[in-house]
Chain A
Amino acid sequence: MRLEPIADPSLARSIAPPAIAIIATVVIASLLAMLAGANPFSVLGLILKGAFGSQFALLETLNRATPLIFTGLAIAVAFKAKFWNIGAEAQLYAGALITVVLGTGALPWPSFALIPALAIGAVLAGAVVLLVPAILKTRFGVDEVVTTLLFNFIFLLFISMLLEGPLKDPMGMGWPKSARLISEARLPRIFDGLRLHWGFALALLCACAVWVIQTRSTLGYEMRAVGLNRDAAAFAGIPVNAVLVKTALLSGGLAALAGFSEVAGLKGSLTLDLSPGFGYTGIIVAMLALLNPLGVIVSALFVAGIFVGADSMSRAAGVPTYLADMMLATALLLMVLAIMLTRFRVVRD
Chain B
Amino acid sequence: MTSNAEIVLRLDAITKRFGKLVANDAISLSLHRGEVVALLGENGAGKTTLMNILFGGYTADSGSVQVFGQTLPPGNSRAALDAGVGMVHQHFTLADNLTVLENIALGAQPMTDVRLSKKEIYNKIKILSDEFNLKVDPSARVGSLAVGERQRVEILKALYRDVKILILDEPTAVLTPQEADDLFGTLSLGIKNGLSIIFISHKLHEVMAISNRVAVLRHGKLVAETLTADTDKNALSALMMGTAAKSPDITLANPGKTLLSLQDVTTPDIGNSPGLKSVSLELKAGQIVGLAGVSGNGQAALADVVGGMRMPSQGALVLNGKTLTQWSPRAAVQNGIARIPEDRHKTGTIADFDLTENAILEGYSTAPFSKGGWISWKNAKQFVTDIIEKYDVRCPGPDTRIRLLSGGNMQKLILGRVLEADPQIVLANQPVRGLDIGAVNYVHSQLLAARDRGAAVLLISEDLDEVMDLSDVIHVIAGGRLSPGFARGTMTPAELGIWMAGQGFDAQVAHAS
Contacts and interface: CB of A to CB of B under 8 A. Distances in A.
A217 B377 CA distance: 10
B253 interface: no
Given A2-B77, A218-B365, A228 B350 contact: yes
Contacts of A238: 361
A4, A221, A233, A238: which has the most chain B beta carbons within 10 Å?
A221
Contacts of B374: 216-218
Contact of A218 (B349, B362, B375): B375
Nearest to B361: A236
A273 interface: no
Interface in B322-379: 328-330, 332-333, 339, 341, 346-353, 357, 360-362, 364-365, 370, 373-375, 377
Interface string B287-307: 000000000000000000001
Interface residues of B, number: 43
Contact of B353 (A10, A228, A237): A228
Contact of A232 (B330, B332, B361): B361
A219 B373 contact: yes
A235 B377 CA distance: 22
Interface in A203-252: 216-219, 221-222, 224-225, 228-229, 231-239
A7, A10, A222: which has the most chain B beta carbons within 10 Å?
A7
Contacts, number: 86
Given A4-B57, A347-B75, A221 B375 contact: yes
A349 interface: yes
Given A7-B404, A218-B375, A235-B341, A229 B351 contact: yes
A232 B346 contact: yes
A231 B347 CA distance: 6
A229 B364 CA distance: 16
A221 B347 CA distance: 17
Contacts of A228: 350-353
Interface in B173-206: none
B75 A4 contact: yes
B59 interface: yes
Interface of A: 2, 4, 7-8, 10, 216-219, 221-222, 224-225, 228-229, 231-239, 347-349
22 contacts: A8-B18, A8-B404, A216-B375, A216-B377, A217-B374, A218-B365, A221-B357, A228-B350, A229-B346, A231-B346, A231-B347, A232-B346, A232-B361, A235-B309, A235-B339, A236-B329, A236-B361, A237-B333, A347-B59, A348-B75, A349-B76, A349-B78
Given A8-B18, A235-B309, 10 more contacts: A4-B75, A7-B18, A8-B404, A216-B375, A232-B346, A235-B341, A235-B347, A236-B361, A237-B333, A349-B79
